Amino acid sequence: MIWVAFTGLGLLFIGVPVAFALGLAGLVGVWLAGIPLSIVATRIFAGVDSFVFLAVPFYILAAEIMSQGGITTRLIRITGHATQWLRGGTAFANIGSSVLFAGISGSAVADSAALGRVFISEMPKEGYTKPYAAAVTVASSIIGPIIPPSGLAIILGAVAGISVVDLFLAGVIPGLLLGIACAGVVAIDAFRGRIPRPAPAPADESPLRMFLSGLAVATLPVVIVGGMVVGAYTATEGGGVAVAYALFLATVVFRELDLAGLWRAFMKAARISATIYLLVAAATVLSYALNLLGVTSWVTAAAETFEGQPILFLFAIALLMLILGTFLDIGAAILIFIPLLMPAVRELGIDPLQASMVVMLTLAIGLVTPPVGVVLFVVMRIGRIGMYPLLQALMPFLIAELCAVALLCLVPGFSTWLPKLLNP
């Protein structure tokens, strides 16, 4: 077990791509367990041989089509006009755009890259400091993987045996909770007069037309999740519906997607999907090796110390995921550790949906914390900002988001109420 961990972490620290580092660590684990290495090829195929995983490329493609179709600009314009009369209105618009964009992209990196290019350059013109503008973008971007449709929810559902529809529904309130946490920090700063009031900008289209445009975009997650809830299609088939709906909006309603943009969307979606499948295959090998080495029994034994204390166990999971999220890819962490943790979660009587949301939120926070905070480095590069001033501005937002995680641990209903109401 020690050699497996040493191999994986060592390869990560010297810059080996995550998928190859995990796969080689799993290979070492299989060899130490005395199992023929030929089994690795079988496990690689078994890792991606899932009908549920077919949904991932569809949702990625739908997000890319929407992005190439000019949807991001429309979302920013809509939220900007909705909040322009408030002190700190542009910061609120940044957060609101992340909430709406989450229902399209399902990715924190895509959120921070798309919105960061606009807000980090525009907010300082109104009087915000550049680190503050970047901090709002970074903090709100982690809403992306939580609000449906979420590629991480699909992966988690596949490896944990949980309904993807339930995970989609479970992510709505926690995602909004993160948005409220970020907005709360901005509201406090606005109340203290630390951030400016934006000058009202003239609308370049009528309020009704702007409202209808926003409604058309916001209905994408509703169409996807609603169809699953009523049983019209599965999560995988919902991905195909998402692509068709995105194409309709981008080519017929908004008319901003040409053939060149469509080709770019297909190419980018193919690259991202290939990366995810490679990661899934490698993590499956590592998870298999860890099971062979008896890690599952270790986790079960450790969970027994929390007998009768499920909330304490959830806080322990949150702490573990916060640590793992600082240096491990969020998808890899889910693929490796969720199969190990879920038996203990069920044994302690914790709702798997609640545990899943705690894991997803804490790992998402890892995306914005060093040393391997991917979103952090994306925004630093876009805004040309140093890490220390960015972290200094980001700290209040991180504290607020950790409070949101604590609420999820303490109140199961935040994660379970909506799935029980709509998909009993």
Range of the structural domain that residue 394 is part of: 2-422
Mean pLDDT for 202-208 is 60
Please give the angle made by the CA atoms of 386, 63 and 261, to the nearest 5 degrees: 95
Mean pLDDT for 6-30 is 78
Q: Average pLDDT, whole number, for the chain?
A: 82
pLDDT at 204: 57
Q: How many domains, in total, are found in the chain?
A: 1
Q: Per mean pLDDT, which range of 134-138, 262-266, 328-332, 411-415 is the poorest?
A: 328-332
- Under DSSP, the state recorded for 197 is P
CA-to-CA distance for 346 and 352, rounded, in angstroms? 7
pLDDT at 107: 74
Which of these, 368, 393, 364, 414, lies nearest to 91 by C-alpha position? 393
Does residue 392 surpass a pLDDT of 60?
yes
Does residue 122 surpass a pLDDT of 70?
yes
Contact status, residue 149 vs residue 57, Cβ threshold 8 Å:
no
Does residue 370 surpass a pLDDT of 80?
no
Does residue 203 surpass a pLDDT of 60?
no
Q: Which long-range contacts (CB under 8 A, 24 or more apart) does 197-203 make?
A: 197/86, 197/87, 197/88, 197/89, 198/80, 198/84, 198/89, 198/90, 198/126, 199/84, 199/126, 200/84, 200/85, 201/80, 201/81, 201/84, 203/81
Highest mean pLDDT among 65-74, 150-159, 237-246, 353-362: 353-362
pLDDT at 355: 94
Residue in the structure block whose two tokens are 């909330």: 311
Mean pLDDT for 31-46 is 80
Does residue 201 surpass a pLDDT of 60?
no
Mean pLDDT for 126-139 is 89
Residue in the structure block whose two tokens are 């961990």: 5
Which of these, 56, 108, 101, 112, lies nearest to 269 by C-alpha position? 56
Query: What's the token pair of residue 91?
Result: 């910061």
pLDDT tens-digit readout, 281-310:
888 888 778 777 777 677 777 777 888 888
pLDDT at 3: 67
